[in-house]
Amino acid sequence: MSRSFKTLALVALKSVGAFRLARLFMRRRLRILGYHGIWIPADHHFGDKLFMSPQTFEGRLALLQRDGYRVLTLDEAVAALDNGNLPADSVVITIDDGWYSTYRHALPALRRFGFPATVYATTLHVVEKTPVFNLVVQYMFKRTAATEADLSVLGMATTAPVPLLTAGERQRAIDTVNDFCATVQDPELKRSLMRKLGVVLGIDFDRLEEQRWLGLMTIDEIRDAAAQGFDIQLHTHRHTMPVSDQPTLALEIEQNRSVLRSAIGAKANLVHFCYPSGVYHPRVFPWLRDLGVASATTVAPGLNDKSTPRLELRRFLDGEFTSAIEFEAELSGVAEIMRQARSRLQRVIPVLRSRVVAEQGSPLRATKGPVAKGE
């Protein structure tokens, strides 16, 4: 379904009252909204699901308030699911990673509307006090006016500049640099590499770092966010999800928990988790329970009820280019009903096809034996 056709279909459904009916039908389901950072610079928007403009984010909050949705804390929502007493039209707002722009723009907006939110904070770059390396690389290659780049300045064994004329060439360059630098651990070396890349691509890294466009909250800012009443929770230390390695996952969560407790207190109730990049596997569920994790959110869209596994909570990942009507469709439950109908059709159609073939016979089946010579 094309984006324009989908929009027209949703507008038509809303005009005939389908949104109101869906909301009534889905009133006891929990909606979890997922966000990341707010894009600070005045230049062309960077990221869709990753960053959102301040205006779009505040527009979402205004819609929640206007339409009377009840915004709960994550603790309240999980307890209500467990007890079977979820209030009608309940919503939870979650924000991933812990970007500085979340602290600078999103949290003040949430305070103005009186809405609680959970911030899932990753912590490696909090400790290192550096911008997020792989995103700096991505931003620089996407913003550069250069048509080629000499990557030998980074220490890479290359004899010719890499071309940057097409989106594919830029993506290959991004992957090459990130793969080459993946094992770099020293924060100052990372900073040096980012600065050198900025020189090659004509991007001012020092300004990017100073303005904290791609930086996370500091320890003090995390502490202040918690003091304001926002819920700080787990997102691993290095923003990675080792689904096949229990000891490494345990280390990731314990390091994450340790850094966060150094900011918000040793008794902080850090029991909620968000899968980095949405990566997970059911095999990790008992591992997470052993680590004291009570709930975990995915990026699988959908609504939640008492039967939804607490370590597989569904969540709508909102984005800058998600239209207002699409957002309303997710909140009302129309989008969920459409997904369920599509899923049923996908299961039913192969069965119907097999029945037709069984009743009519295969069109390729022979109707008589081999033809004799001379027949």
Over the stretch 352-375, which tens digit does the pLDDT of each residue have?
666 666 666 544 443 333 333 333
Q: In 3D, which of 11, 352, 73, 53 has the Cα closest to residue 233?
A: 73
Q: Report the amino acid identity of residue 7.
A: T
250 contacts 258 by C-beta, under 8 angstroms = no
Task: Please name every residue paired with 95 in a beta bridge, in sequence order, or none if there are none.
Answer: 35, 119
Q: What is the mean pLDDT of the chain?
A: 92
pTM of the model: 0.90
CA 40 to chain CA centroid, Å, is: 19
Beta-carbon contacts of residue 360 (< 8 Å; ≥ 6 apart): none
Integer CA distances (angstroms), 252 to 20, 96, 356, in order: 43, 16, 53
Express each pLDDT in 316-344 by its tens digit. 999 999 999 999 999 999 999 999 998 88
pLDDT for 29: 97
pLDDT for 3: 77
Cα separation, 166 vs 172, in Å, equals 10
Interval 11-27 mean pLDDT:
96
pLDDT for 116: 98
pLDDT band with cut points at 50, 70 and 90 for residue 207? very high
What stretch of H or E contains 268? none
Q: Express as a percent the part of the chain with pLDDT over 90.
A: 85
Interval 210-220 mean pLDDT:
97
